[in-house]
């Protein structure tokens, strides 16, 4: 009898971030779709009746949605990514730039979504003022987004849409 001296294959594991949403059979694997479903689940769990007009569209992941009358752009990345790519086409249109930019990190294999934070339109523009030279997209560190999902919910519950240009 021969003994095997080979090591078992290593398994990559990462801790689920505190505050991440675990989804039950979401019927989609798109990062946008999973993020929208997670946002709806958070609203349901917290018993918040806030209007959320967001589509699960796979073909237009950069599409802006309305959340309690605020224009929100969703930017997604993989759950272990250090950066998030933001499509900029909406930011160049006068009068149609998002008021809020929500970051979502997604693990589509395990149906986990984590919202590291949000930036207001003015915060985003100030952060990138010197880097926006008609680029189609830009990459930001996940650490640039602040406050998690609670910051987004606070903004849309407390503020009036006109308070964020």
String of DSSP letters for 49-117: ---EE----SS-TT--EEETTEEEEEEEEETT-SEEEEE-GGGGSTTT--SEEEEEEEETTTTEEEEEE
Q: How does the average pLDDT of the chain come out, rounded?
A: 85
Q: Give the pLDDT confidence of 138-155 residue by residue, as tens digits.
A: 889 999 999 999 999 999
pTM: 0.85
How many residues are listed for the chain in this entry?
Answer: 165
Residue 70: HSE in the Cβ half-sphere, 13 Å Cα cutoff: 27
Q: Give the pLDDT confidence of 14-71 residue by residue, as tens digits.
A: 778 888 999 988 888 789 999 999 999 999 999 999 999 877 666 676 788 999 999 9
């Amino acid at each position: 009898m021969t003994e095997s001296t080979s090591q078992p294959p290593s398994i990559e594991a990462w801790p689920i971030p505190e505050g991440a949403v675990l989804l039950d059979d979401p019927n989609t694997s798109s990062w946008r779709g999973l993020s929208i479903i997670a946002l709806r689940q958070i609203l349901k769990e917290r018993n918040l009746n806030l209007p959320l007009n967001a589509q699960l569209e796979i073909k237009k992941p950069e599409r802006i949605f309305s959340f309690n009358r605020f224009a929100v752009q969703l930017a997604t990345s993989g759950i272990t990514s250090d950066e998030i790519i933001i499509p900029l086409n909406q930011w160049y249109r006068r009068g149609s730039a998002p008021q809020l930019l929500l970051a979502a990190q997604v693990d589509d294999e395990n149906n986990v979504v984590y919202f590291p934070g949000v930036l207001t339109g003015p915060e985003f523009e100030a952060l990138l003022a010197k880097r926006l030279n008609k680029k189609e997209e830009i990459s930001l560190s996940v650490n640039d987004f602040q406050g998690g999902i609670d910051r987004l919910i606070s903004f849309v519950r407390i503020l009036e849409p006109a308070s964020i240009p």
